[in-house]
């Protein structure tokens, strides 16, 4: 397998995850850094992947991850496909999108199909006395829905395969990406 073929397979797996709800790459770990400079990780749903470097997830704009990204836009994503033993690490910069054409298109096509994820009256992370306190929603619109766009600056995959593991790194450039094999 050539280096180009290996990356083509990895990128195809990411694209498949956007449309296949049961795909192993659909649920991904997002890491941010909080105000105390402590890493914070959580599982999120991959919603879009574009131009072989731009990842999109949805969230509530009042969530900790949004505030963390506004303070420090450096993030990482970790994907793992247990079926084929493929790990993908992505590092890059994130931005929060809460208005505009792309925002509206995402809300209209996907976000509005699960409105309770983004229209809760009580902000995520609020201390409550019982779970049922959290089940109150705004009746109209999407006041807290937002996109998080993550532009990859570096990607690295590790393909486990008995004793023949393969690993590669890719650095995203403005005009061209640079990739190479690295020892597993």
∠ CA 164-170-176, nearest 5°, is: 140
Output the pLDDT for position 2: 96
Q: Is the pTM of this model over 0.75?
A: yes
pLDDT of residue 107: 85
Q: Are 65 and 123 in contact (CB under 8 A)?
A: no
DSSP single-letter state for residue 120: B
Residue 135: the pLDDT is 84
Give me the domains of the chain, ranges plus CATH numbers: 3-181 (2.30.110.10)
Q: Could you report the per-residue pLDDT of 91-102, keeping only the tens digit for each?
A: 999 999 999 999
Q: Where are the beta strands (DSSP E) in 64-129?
A: 74-81, 86-97
> What pLDDT score was predicted for residue 139?
64
Neighbours of 43 (CB within 10 A): 9
CB within 8 Å of 35: residues ≥ 6 apart: 68, 71
pLDDT over 90 (residue 142)? no
Q: What is the pLDDT of residues 63-78, one digit of tens each?
A: 999 999 999 999 999 9
Give me the pLDDT at residue 69, please: 99
pLDDT reading at 27 higher than 80: yes
Q: 10 Å Cβ neighbour count for 100?
A: 9
88: number of Cβ within 10 Å: 20
The per-residue pLDDT for range 98-127, each reduced to its tens digit, is 999 999 998 888 776 676 777 788 899 999
């Amino acid at each position: 397998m050539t280096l180009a073929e290996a990356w083509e397979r990895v990128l195809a797996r990411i694209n498949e995850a956007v449309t296949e709800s049961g795909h192993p790459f659909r649920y991904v770990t997002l890491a941010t850094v909080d105000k105390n400079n402590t890493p914070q990780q959580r599982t999120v749903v991959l919603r879009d992947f574009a131009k072989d470097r731009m990842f999109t997830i949805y969230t509530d704009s009042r969530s900790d991850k949004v505030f963390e990204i506004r303070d420090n836009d450096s993030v990482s994503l970790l994907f793992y496909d247990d079926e084929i033993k493929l790990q993908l690490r992505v590092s890059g910069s994130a931005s929060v999108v809460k208005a505009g054409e792309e925002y509206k298109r995402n809300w209209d096509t996907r976000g509005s199909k699960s409105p309770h994820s983004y229209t809760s009256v009580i902000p995520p992370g609020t201390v409550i006395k019982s779970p049922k306190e959290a089940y109150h929603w705004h009746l109209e619109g999407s006041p807290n829905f937002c996109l998080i766009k993550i532009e990859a600056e570096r990607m690295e995959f590790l393909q486990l395969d008995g004793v023949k593991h393969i690993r590669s790194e890719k650095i995203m450039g403005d005009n061209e990406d640079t990739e190479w094999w690295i020892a597993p």
